[in-house]
A and B are shown apart, each in its own frame.
Chain A
Amino acid sequence: MEEVFEIAQRADESTPVLSVRGEIDVSTAPELRDRLLSVAQEGYSTVVVDLSEVTFLDSTALGVLVSGLKRFRAAGGDLRLVVTGRSVTKVLEITGLVEVFPIFDTVAGAVAS
């Protein structure tokens, strides 16, 4: 029943990319929070979170992303999202967060920004 949830970090970019796969809800969002914290503690001020393989995203996940955004912006950087799926786009739209996050269609575009 339960989908696989995993976060992969690409090490070949100057800007770290966290590629998330599966459903981000109250039970999996803490892992995303920990990974974002690790990236910040490694000294990066900007991170790309690739949500193109995410099939479900709830308010808990949004809370983690917003907290991350504040942290990275406080360090002079940013938290950029890659969003291609309709379900993720919709939840960002209805919460108004589509206006808050820098959102890209591709990882390459997000990294190059």
Chain B
Amino acid sequence: MSTVPADENTVELSIPAVPEWLALARTTGAAVASRWQFTYDEIADLRLAIDELCLTLIGPGGAERLDLAYSLDGSAIVVRGTVQPAAEVGTADTANGSPATAPGFTEASELSERILDALVDDHGSEANGSGHSAWLRKERSVAVT
């Protein structure tokens, strides 16, 4: 095995924030994790965890794009997803209140939460300016020399 080159330690993906594109988000995560020498079982866990992460972001609707960044941080993969409310693309519309407080927007479903708790080492979500981000971190079990 070889060390991952520094210029290959981040991959970015921007997809429409609709269900039909989530397969690409998890497939990309699997490909990236494979390149970074995660094990088969770890990659399977990541596919599901990335899917759940994305669900927490697109679930409420109202976003046009889901931006994902897959980064290698030491021996861990960090996946961060970000959505911007569609209203922010044009004229702001706050009639429904701040997205940060919209019910269900920042809270994963109970099942998603259980899955993420079980499959990754850490995860969270946060307001990010006018949008929202959710992230996960999973350590690689096999050291790369």
Q: Which residues of A contact B20 (CB under 8 A)?
A: 27
In the complex, A1→B31 CA distance in Å? 12
Given A56-B47, A63-B109: A25 and B23 interface contact (C-beta under 8 Å): yes
Given A58-B55, A59-B112, A60-B55: A91 and B23 interface contact (C-beta under 8 Å): no
Convert B4-19 into 0s and 1s, putting 1 for each residue whose CB lies closer than 8 angstroms to a CB of A. Answer: 0000000000000001
In the complex, A2→B22 CA distance in Å? 10
In the complex, A82→B115 CA distance in Å? 21
Is A94 in the interface zone, CB < 8 Å from B?
yes
Is A67 in the interface zone, CB < 8 Å from B?
no
Query: Is there contact, CB below 8 Å, between B22 and A95?
Result: no
Q: Closest chain B residue to A2 by CB distance?
A: B23
List A residues at the B interface (Cβ < 8 Å).
1-3, 23, 25-27, 56, 58-60, 62-63, 87, 91, 94-96
List B residues at the A interface (Cβ < 8 Å).
19-20, 22-24, 26-27, 44, 47-48, 51-52, 55, 109, 111-112, 114-115, 118-119
Further contacts, 14 of them, CB under 8 A, given A1-B23, A94-B119: A1-B27, A25-B19, A25-B22, A26-B19, A26-B22, A27-B19, A56-B26, A56-B48, A58-B115, A59-B109, A62-B111, A63-B109, A94-B118, A95-B114
